[in-house]
């Protein structure tokens, strides 16, 4: 009944927002299981394999789509919608449903599907609404004649199914408020401006330019510049509001007017809530990750914020909003609690961009609430329990206490591994992909937990995340940690009330702990898999690895009386001592791996760097032309720096269409998964100087994308029509796809990542954007054939990491 009410709500919502005619799909053909997408670069999809090759036959009842691994035919069968217009069938679990729409003319529409993980409309990929949020609308152009949809469905195909409809808009531009990101208005703090975010939908074949969004609250109007919304796309845009007229608690109406060249083209209203600053509330901010509007929630300190108090960072579980997480905690008299979003209720499992969101909110909270820097604490529940294990292991020295509640330690070991490569794999290519995801493995990073007090809380009857995960971590910690507490809540399920997280003994444990000052810590042990994610612990740091993305360790002992520092390393090529290593201008002796490096070292205001070729010696800070802690590679790194998508226009019509469609597909996926927004730029309009220090995602090869010559001339990997050259190696054919990264030559921090192919078949082989899956491992480069959707790792031609100078072949991968 709850599900039925939800779909009725979606129907009423869509028709109230767009107020246009609709068409609901009520029958189709289903086939499956035929695909497996997980948290990895590799995936299998027998339908996509045929679609890429141009060998996908039009489905019909009883026809065979493919043969499964046991030789059994996977056949198409008819499915009919139920009374809630849901298409459901057992064959839809990890399968596809084929839908058609005959159109008497060419026209635009909004395609709104819920419950799917992706789709192809007339051969073009679009993102999916796997979590059934109901606010993902695809602007499409119907052709005259038969329009075909292949809708990919995941685990919910049998019981939850999908709904699908077409909405025919009357206006080419519209504001959609279904997925608004909004703050609470605090009646004590109405002097400044607030940020909000709404979606703009463009169903025209031209970009929407010269846009402004006017927000009006109580007669106070604010006009915000709006970025370009590319043709036939939607984009979430930021806008400002002035709440000065709000004096009382309650609902507040904000009127929105979209203007183009000063003329109104659409109007909507949104409702905000005014609260007291003493209540749990949400604040918004502009994210440095992509320039989008994000929010975090606050459980304020009793009696108001007091600088020098504690700060608690609480990370939520799957499908939990940050404000819901914060409201599970009663306000504390000794600190403020903040809850980041992970970019979405599911987001990125607190890894990748979920990790960056947590760090971004932590930084904002430290500036806003000015806590005691020695009293910063980390906790979370379920997926947030994993987030606590992960962030706690990744950033030793940042947390006085870490308290995972009902958490699992690794994605690999939990059900959300979703088809991840087994660690036992002996395939060299699979091992390289696993290596790229080493930063996710908190078991390997477990010695870092020694930096914090650890409190483990878990219900002993938890059927969602087994208590065995907590017992596993208790066993791991017991081998080296002398400051952790463990409690199993009797008969406790996954959630047994707010005390599943707001547990008095947990906060008492926190109160007893503080972060020691760096100058007071004489013995350190630190492990990282990627210095660009985590490079320092108190006064030591790893700046460059010998073998990228393998685990690196550094242990250091300081004797202030003897004025010595002794360091041991593993897989470290360049290390650094930070200013707190020794008092300024005081001499000390330094030995590394048993070698005396200097007997008259002195610390200043800047770190000291030491490198090893055959022996250790003092060295300047590595420059931007080398791997370092600011830029250390993996394909996904370029997506961290307010990325710009640059699509090629210098190829054939089909190649250019692929580049634009792929850029739109990735932008749409980023919006859905990360509540984000991306600038889409044609290569002919791209000037690197206009986008300083921003990550560039380039779609197309050197023959089809005109931006290639501005960014990748010196890259050891070159892609052209018909061939890929990697160092001295050449791979030929028109069916090769590739993902790779390379430092942006005009930036010290940003990178260029490339999605390309050697021909149209190879380009389509790069359709899948598994890089947005949390914890998925993508090395510096990955070259594969169009057989990968069927053959998996067997189709990989080359994968690995560039050397310390971003060249190929100088290190052993």
Q: Which helix (H) or strand (E) holds 797?
A: strand 796-800
CA distances from 649 to 92, 122, 752, 757 (A): 37, 21, 18, 14
Q: What is the DSSP string of 489-512?
A: ETT--S--SGGGTS-HHHHHHHHT
Residue 575, token pair as written in the block: 């290390």
pLDDT in tens, 609-649: 999 999 999 999 999 999 999 999 999 999 999 999 999 99
Q: Where are the alpha helices (DSSP H) in 437-552?
A: 467-478, 504-511
Q: Where are the alpha helices (DSSP H) in 243-396?
A: 322-327, 353-369, 383-394
pLDDT for the residue 526: 98
Model confidence band, residue 547 (pLDDT cutoffs 50, 70, 90): very high
pLDDT beyond 90 at 416: no
pLDDT for the residue 9: 43
CB-based contact 340:320 (threshold 8 Å):
no
CB-based contact 793:426 (threshold 8 Å):
no
pLDDT for the residue 813: 46
For 610, half-sphere exposure in the C-beta direction (CA atoms, 13 angstrom radius) is 24
Q: Which helix (H) or strand (E) holds 224?
A: strand 220-226
CA 790 to centroid of chain Cα atoms = 26
pLDDT for the residue 414: 84
CB-based contact 17:176 (threshold 8 Å):
yes
pLDDT for the residue 424: 65
For residues 144 and 522, what is the distance between their CA atoms, to the nearest angstrom? 74
pLDDT beyond 50 at 15: no
For residues 757 and 734, what is the distance between their CA atoms, to the nearest angstrom? 8
pLDDT beyond 90 at 727: yes
For residues 807 and 727, what is the distance between their CA atoms, to the nearest angstrom? 8
Residue 351, token pair as written in the block: 């890894």
Model confidence band, residue 118 (pLDDT cutoffs 50, 70, 90): very high
CB-based contact 357:313 (threshold 8 Å):
no
Q: Phi and psi of 803, rounded to 5°?
A: -80, -170
**Which residues are 598's β-sheet partners?**
590
336: left (phi over 0), alpha (psi -120 to 50) or beta: beta
pLDDT in tens, 662-695: 999 999 999 999 999 999 999 999 999 999 999 9
CB-based contact 387:318 (threshold 8 Å):
no
Whole-number percent of the chain with pLDDT over 90: 91
For residues 543 and 606, what is the distance between their CA atoms, to the nearest angstrom? 14
**Predicted structure pTM score:** 0.95
Model confidence band, residue 3 (pLDDT cutoffs 50, 70, 90): very low
Q: Which residues contact 493 (CB under 8 A, 6 or more apart)?
A: 459, 461, 462, 463, 464
* pLDDT (average), residues 95-108: 97
Q: Which residues contact 767 (CB under 8 A, 6 or more apart)?
A: 48, 52, 125, 662, 665
Pairing verdict, β 608-612 and 233-241: unpaired
Model confidence band, residue 528 (pLDDT cutoffs 50, 70, 90): very high
Q: Which helix (H) or strand (E) holds 486?
A: strand 484-489
CA dihedral 7, 11, 14, 17 (to 10 degrees): -120
Nearest to 406 by CA among 467, 365, 359, 452: 467
CB-based contact 665:657 (threshold 8 Å):
no
Crossing angle of helices 383-394/353-369, nearest 10°? Answer: 80
Model confidence band, residue 423 (pLDDT cutoffs 50, 70, 90): low
Q: Which residues contact 439 (CB under 8 A, 6 or more apart)?
A: 351, 394, 528, 529, 530, 533, 534, 549
For residues 692 and 517, what is the distance between their CA atoms, to the nearest angstrom? 36
Instruction: Tell me the longest C-alpha to C-alpha distance in the chain.
Output: 88
Model confidence band, residue 417 (pLDDT cutoffs 50, 70, 90): very low
Nearest to 349 by CA among 435, 434, 409: 409
pLDDT beyond 70 at 19: no
pLDDT for the residue 412: 83
pLDDT for the residue 413: 84
SS3 171: coil
Residue 491, token pair as written in the block: 């008969």
Model confidence band, residue 701 (pLDDT cutoffs 50, 70, 90): very high
pLDDT beyond 90 at 318: yes
Residue 413, token pair as written in the block: 């070991």
Burial class from Cβ neighbours inside 10 Å (0-12, 13-18, 19+) for residue 560 reads middle
Give residue for tokens 């169009």: 786
The neighbour count for residue 303, using CB atoms within 10 Å, is: 9
Residue 187, token pair as written in the block: 């009646």
Model confidence band, residue 465 (pLDDT cutoffs 50, 70, 90): very high
Tell me the pLDDT of the chain averaged across its residues.
Answer: 94
pLDDT beyond 50 at 1: no
Q: What is the DSSP string of 99-150?
A: EEEEESS-EEEEEEEES-SEEEETTEEEE--TT--S---EEEEEPSEEEEEE
Cα distance from N-terminal residue to C-terminal residue, the chain: 55
Q: What is the DSSP string of 225-266?
A: EE--B-TTEEEEEEEEE--TT--SSEEEEEEEEEEETTEEEE
For residues 489 and 475, what is the distance between their CA atoms, to the nearest angstrom? 18
SS3 451: helix
Q: Identify which has the larger pLDDT, 261 or 416.
A: 261
Pairing verdict, β 588-592 and 564-570: parallel
pLDDT for the residue 723: 98
For residues 65 and 75, what is the distance between their CA atoms, to the nearest angstrom? 6
CA 677 to centroid of chain Cα atoms = 12
Model confidence band, residue 316 (pLDDT cutoffs 50, 70, 90): very high
pLDDT for the residue 508: 98
* pLDDT (average), residues 542-566: 97
Please give the DSSP secondary-structure letter assigned to residue 332: B
Q: Identify which has the larger pLDDT, 11 or 693.
A: 693
């Amino acid at each position: 009944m709850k599900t039925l009410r939800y779909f009725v709500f979606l129907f009423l919502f869509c028709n109230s927002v767009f107020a246009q005619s609709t068409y609901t799909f009520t029958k189709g053909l289903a086939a499956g299981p035929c695909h497996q997408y997980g948290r990895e670069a590799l995936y299998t999809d027998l339908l996509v394999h045929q679609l890429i090759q141009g060998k996908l036959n039009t489905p019909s009842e009883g026809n065979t789509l493919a043969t499964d691994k046991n030789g059994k035919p996977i056949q198409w069968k008819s499915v009919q919608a139920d009374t809630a217009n849901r298409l459901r069938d057992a064959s839809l679990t990890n399968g596809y449903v084929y839908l058609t729409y005959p159109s008497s003319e060419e026209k635009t529409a909004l395609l709104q599907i819920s419950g799917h993980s992706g789709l192809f409309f007339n051969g073009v990929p679009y993102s999916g609404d796997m979590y059934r949020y109901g606010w993902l609308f695809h602007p499409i152009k119907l052709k005259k004649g038969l329009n075909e949809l292949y809708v990919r469905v995941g685990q919910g195909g049998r019981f939850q199914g999908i709904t699908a409809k077409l909405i025919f808009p009357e206006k080419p531009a519209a504001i959609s408020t279904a997925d608004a990101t909004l703050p609470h208005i605090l009646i004590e703090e109405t002097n400044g401006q607030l940020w909000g975010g709404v979606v703009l939908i463009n169903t025209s074949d031209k970009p929407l330019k010269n846009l402004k969004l006017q927000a009006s609250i109580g007669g106070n109007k604010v006009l915000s510049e709006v970025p370009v919304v590319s043709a036939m796309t939607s984009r979430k845009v930021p806008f400002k509001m002035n709440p000065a007229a709000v004096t009382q608690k309650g609902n507040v109406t904000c009127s929105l007017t979209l203007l183009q060249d000063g003329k109104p083209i659409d109007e909507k209203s949104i409702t905000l809530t005014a609260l007291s600053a003493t209540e749990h509330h949400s604040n918004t901010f502009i994210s440095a990750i992509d320039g989008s509007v994000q929010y975090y929630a606050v459980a304020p300190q009793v009696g108001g914020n007091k600088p020098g108090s504690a700060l608690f960072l609480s990370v939520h579980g799957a499908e939990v909003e940050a404000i819901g997480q914060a409201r599970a905690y009663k306000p504390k008299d000794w600190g403020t609690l903040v809850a980041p979003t992970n970019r979405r209720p599911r987001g990125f499992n607190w890894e990748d961009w979920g990790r960056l969101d947590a760090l971004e909110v932590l930084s904002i909270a430290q500036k806003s609430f000015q806590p005691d820097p020695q009293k910063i604490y980390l906790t979370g529940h379920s997926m947030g329990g994993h987030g606590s294990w992960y962030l706690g292991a990744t950033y030793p020295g940042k947390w006085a206490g870490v308290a995972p509640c009902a958490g699992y330690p690794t994605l690999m070991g939990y059900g959300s591994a979703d088809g991840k490569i087994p660690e036992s794999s002996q395939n060299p290519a699979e091992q390289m992909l696993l290596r790229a995801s080493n930063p996710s493995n908190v078991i390997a990073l477990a010695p870092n937990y020694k930096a914090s007090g650890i409190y483990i809380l878990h219900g002993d009857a938890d059927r969602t995340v087994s208590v065995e995960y907590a017992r596993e971590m208790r066993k791991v910690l017991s081998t080296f940690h002398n400051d952790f507490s463990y409690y199993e809540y009797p008969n406790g399920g996954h959630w047994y009330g707010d005390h599943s997280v707001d547990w008095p003994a947990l906060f008492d444990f926190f109160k007893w702990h503080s972060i020691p000052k760096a100058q007071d810590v004489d013995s350190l042990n630190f492990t990282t898999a990627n210095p660009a994610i985590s490079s320092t612990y108190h006064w030591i740091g790893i700046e460059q690895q010998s073998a990228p993305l393998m685990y690196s360790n550094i242990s250091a002992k300081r004797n202030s009386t003897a004025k010595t520092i002794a360091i041991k390393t593993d897989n470290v090529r360049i290390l650094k001592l930070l200013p707190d290593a020794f008092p300024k201008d005081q001499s000390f002796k330094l030995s590394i791996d048993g070698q005396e490096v200097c007997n008259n070292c002195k610390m200043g205001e800047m770190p000291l760097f030491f490198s090893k070729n055959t022996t250790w010696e003092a060295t300047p800070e590595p420059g931007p032309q080398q791997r370092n802690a600011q830029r250390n590679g993996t394909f996904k790194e370029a997506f961290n720096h307010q990325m710009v998508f640059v699509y090629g226009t210098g190829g054939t019509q089909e190649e250019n269409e692929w580049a634009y469609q792929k850029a739109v597909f990735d932008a749409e996926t980023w919006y859905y998964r990360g509540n984000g927004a991306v600038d889409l730029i044609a290569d002919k309009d791209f000037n690197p100087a206009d986008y300083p220090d921003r990550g560039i995602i380039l779609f197309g090869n050197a023959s089809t994308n005109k931006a290639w010559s501005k960014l990748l001339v010196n890259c050891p990997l070159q892609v052209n029509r018909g061939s890929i050259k990697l160092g001295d190696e050449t791979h030929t054919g028109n069916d090769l796809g590739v993902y790779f990264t390379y430092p942006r030559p005009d930036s010290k921090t940003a990178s260029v990542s490339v999605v390309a192919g050697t021909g149209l078949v190879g380009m389509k082989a790069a359709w899948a954007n598994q890089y947005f899956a949390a914890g998925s491992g993508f090395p510096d480069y990955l070259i594969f054939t169009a057989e990968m959707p069927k053959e998996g790792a067997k189709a990989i031609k080359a994968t690995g990491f560039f050397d310390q100078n971003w060249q190929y072949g100088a290190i052993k991968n």
